Amino acid sequence: MGQKCRNRCYFGCIIGDSPLHHFPNPKSIIPDQLLRYAVWKTVLDVATQEKGDTYIYDQIRLCNKHFLDCYQLPSRQLTRNAVPTLNLGDSDGNTAESIPIINEEQSVPVNKHSTHYYIDIDTANRSHNKG
């Protein structure tokens, strides 16, 4: 499926000056980080997933084209709760089926003063499973 090089987006995007993002650390002791890693991992093809967590963390990168604007900070870094939900298909139009594709209506503000959002995973999963 995608490119497996840490200097390229996994999906083979032409990235220009867009930053490339590491997967969340699969060895983190923070439960939210482990959950986020598991969600990110679902966008990978099975062969890449089978290469293991260390390979994925060390070698696979995603560009900004795979994240909603609400996950992208002005510094071009991602918010701590960012998950890839956009442009997850390959050149044949195949997409990862296990990740809920959501819209901003299914996301929740980080706090009442924030313009950054996180996915309400329970709501997204319920909507995805109704499909």
What is the tens place of the pLDDT at every residue in 83-121? 999 988 754 444 444 344 444 444 444 444 444 444 444
Rounded CA separation 49/45 (Å): 6
pLDDT higher than threshold 80 for residue 41? yes
Rounded CA separation 75/128 (Å): 32
Do residues 47 and 93 lie in contact, with contact meaning Cβ atoms separated by under 8 Å? no
Rounded CA separation 50/85 (Å): 21
Q: Which residue has the tokens 């990110």?
A: 40
Which one is predicted more confidently, 73 or 16?
73
- pLDDT category, 16, cuts 50, 70, 90? confident
pLDDT higher than threshold 80 for residue 11? yes
- Which pLDDT score is estimated for 130? 45
- Which pLDDT score is estimated for 90? 54
Claim: this prediction has a pTM higher than 0.85: no
